[in-house]
Chains A and B, each alone.
Chain A
């Protein structure tokens, strides 16, 4: 079976423009910083949102994290990916914000333990290939966002960092301060739960090329 190369490859590796920009900012030419982080601004926001679940807080934390990255740019070492470094700073910043908010609001502590026992898939609808243009439709993106938002925090965070932000398992564990084994367990559940939540959508035609493909005309 073919492996999931699309997800696992590293798109920005060997990007010389990025290396140039990093060197320039490290030398004090801070005016190049926005150009450097711009390709990742959406991912930084998504990481903050996954943890905070509030758009205003997520935007503020995204900005704070970028400023922190600027302040510490000399500490960035070329061995790691710049995007990963940026996301890790963001996750850290968001977790700190949440901890602060929680102490203030004395919110109930969420269960952070991993579930015992296996997850059994419920829906075996046959998904084939999903046309990528399905995502052009706001309705589809909306459904996917709702499904993700319905996951428990511990599953959502791991899924967002690994599958949306494309940190590796080890980096995800480090960013969240949990074990590699926990990341793997939570990732399995998150993926299978999302699959179950969305499997019905395949039959309902969310992911088909055109909404009226099966003879149901919209007019």
Chain B
């Protein structure tokens, strides 16, 4: 195969890429041996590629790396926060799921009365042996003498633990000081922290 200058110029880029078949490559090599012009074009093209491929050809604005690093550190922090708040979510969700499961299981075994209100769990900070009073037909248990007791002549005295086990919930007026922390998410940590002077609702339900 014989190639002319025009053909060489058309294929010179592919030749440099190694993207020509052996026949064409041999023909071009022959051509370069005799044609000064084409050899000059080949050499020049290679020089162009070599010059521009040099890292020094890339000039970045002053402070580019520093600004990039700052933005990436910020971005990484946001991502980490997003991830940790997501994983922080998982703990109380898992805890609640376990407790809910535990409660259902406990109810089926031991509790005669179902919890009268879902707010019953808010009473976890009340000292379990504290004497409280309840009346039939009401949902709340109270400190004796609370002005919000209905049917004061039919009160029954028992411990807070027993009242809760029967499904009563604390009166929000007289039990207020125990309920102030009720908005804290219900987590294992909260349960563990409350296992000193007071006990968690799960233990109350199971009885001791």
Q: Within B51-102, which residues are at the interface with A (CB < 8 Å)?
A: 51-61, 64-65, 67-69, 71-73, 75-76, 79-80, 83
Q: Is A81 in the interface zone, CB < 8 Å from B?
A: no
Given A70-B72, A127-B47, A130-B47, the answer on whether A184 and B13 have CB atoms closer than 8 Å is yes
Give how many A residues have a beta carbon under 8 Å from the other chain's beta carbons: 61
Q: What total of A-B pairs shows CB separation below 8 Å?
A: 153
**List of A residues within 8 angstroms of B76 by Cβ:** 30-31, 33, 70
Is the beta-carbon distance between B18 and A66 smaller than 8 angstroms? Answer: no
Q: Is A145 in the interface zone, CB < 8 Å from B?
A: yes
Report Cα–Cα, A216/B64, bound state, in Å.
Answer: 38
Main secondary structure of the interface of B (DSSP, over half): helix
Q: Is B32 in the interface zone, CB < 8 Å from A?
A: yes
Report Cα–Cα, A63/B63, bound state, in Å.
Answer: 13
Is the beta-carbon distance between A124 and B41 smaller than 8 angstroms? Answer: yes
**List of A residues within 8 angstroms of B119 by Cβ:** none
| Segment with Cβ contacts to B, from A2-10, A82-90, A101-109 | A2-10
Mind listing 19 A-B residue pairs with CB under 8 Å? A3-B16, A28-B83, A41-B60, A45-B58, A71-B79, A118-B10, A119-B9, A124-B36, A126-B43, A127-B43, A130-B47, A135-B51, A163-B49, A184-B14, A187-B13, A188-B10, A191-B12, A191-B13, A195-B44
Q: Please list the 9 inter-chain residue pairs (A to B) with the smallest Cβ-Cβ separation, ordered nearest first.
A: A30-B76, A188-B13, A195-B44, A127-B44, A46-B58, A42-B58, A67-B75, A135-B56, A124-B37
